[in-house]
Amino acid sequence: MFCVLKPHRWKLAALLLAANAGLLLHLACGSLKSVSEWQWLDIIGEGGSALLALVWLGLVLKSRPAGRVTNYLALGLSCIFFSWWIDSLDEFIRLPASITWDHWLESGPMPIGMILLTIGIYHWHREQLAISAQMEKKERLFREHRQFDKLTPLAGADYLKRELAASLEDSRRQQQPLSLLALDLDHFAAINQNYGHAEGDAVLQALSHVLLLNLRRQDLLCRLAGDRFVVLLPNTGESQARLLALELQQAVQGLAHKTRQHGERLYLAASTAVVMALEETPEGLLKRLNLALARAKQPLAKTA
């Protein structure tokens, strides 16, 4: 946690200093209220708002690298937190009526924070558009981080089933062909056995990037399980899908993956299968695809 926040330590230190300065200033100029004078609803509302702003700030800093967008978001949330923090101090400390600077400390940072936060969200929006363009082959109209694979930058089986159901419906409505392509590494178990599972994971990560580079913009690549990948091919007939499968096989064979320990090249190969959607459910289509892939790998099983 602290390692992640280390690049932002100066932002947090400045906010801590400002919050403590506000507290000390109130204590120096005012007097503590008795417990009977506390307004619990105001304490919960104002103090809770300050706490939530601090939580938002922590989440932003933890999830983002340093940069212009992060600075705008952090400064905006810091101003909002400071405004609510000063507002909540009034519930515990009574200031003389002659003092007016507390109103400036309460109200001044809030609009500044809102403006900075709005600028940050605008630039974050532009950033997300650029990221979404890069994610086109990894996701469609639905984004859910829990359905993304933990090893590769790809969605998993649940995401594939969701998108497949939607694509089948679109295919029927638009009367356009839809195909599925499965790719499975040959002898992947031997890589894990001879070089370790960490090297096998590195192979899968490298392979996922190679496959993405060799797909079209409208295609969706998912990791079904283990070393098995599935590509959703909209508006694609079976013959065109077979050509794409051949291209992916050639791309896998051309991948010069080097082991991390000795730099030894691993020669990779893959089996593929293609099916075109008929009047069937997503589960039925995936079952037919898995059967086709099992038939494609039968010669390898006999020679193993």
Asked, for residue 139, whether it belongs to a domain, the answer is no
* Residue 118 lies in domain: 2-134
DSSP line for 83-98: HHHHHHHTTTEEPPTT
Using CA atoms, how far residue 258 sits from 39, 138, 204, 261, in Å, is 66, 25, 13, 9
If asked whether residues 16 and 129 sit together in one domain, one would say yes
Instruction: Count the domains in the chain.
Output: 2
Distance CA 135, CA 52 (A): 31
- Look at residue 139 and tell me whether its pLDDT is greater than 60: no
Contact between residue 57 and residue 72 where contact means Cβ atoms under 8 Å apart: no
Both tokens of 275, joined, read 């099916």
Q: In what helix (H) or strand (E) does residue 68 lie, and over which residues does it extend?
A: helix 68-89
Three-class DSSP category at 265: strand
What is the overall mean pLDDT for the chain?
Answer: 86
Give the angle subtended at the CA of 61 by the CAs of 59 and 67, to the nearest 5°.
Answer: 145
Q: Residue 204: which pLDDT band, with cuts at 50, 70 and 90? A: very high
Are 88 and 153 part of one and the same domain? no
Distance separating alpha carbons of residues 94 and 31, to the nearest angstrom: 5
Percent of the chain topping pLDDT 70? 89
pLDDT recorded at residue 301: 58
Render pLDDT for 265-289 as a digit per residue (tens, 0 to 9). 889 999 999 999 988 899 999 999 9
- Give the pLDDT score at 146: 46
Q: Is position 54 within any domain?
A: yes
- 113 and 245 share one domain: no
Residue 143 CA to residue 135 CA, distance in Å, equals: 10
- Whether residue 196 sits in one domain with residue 260: yes
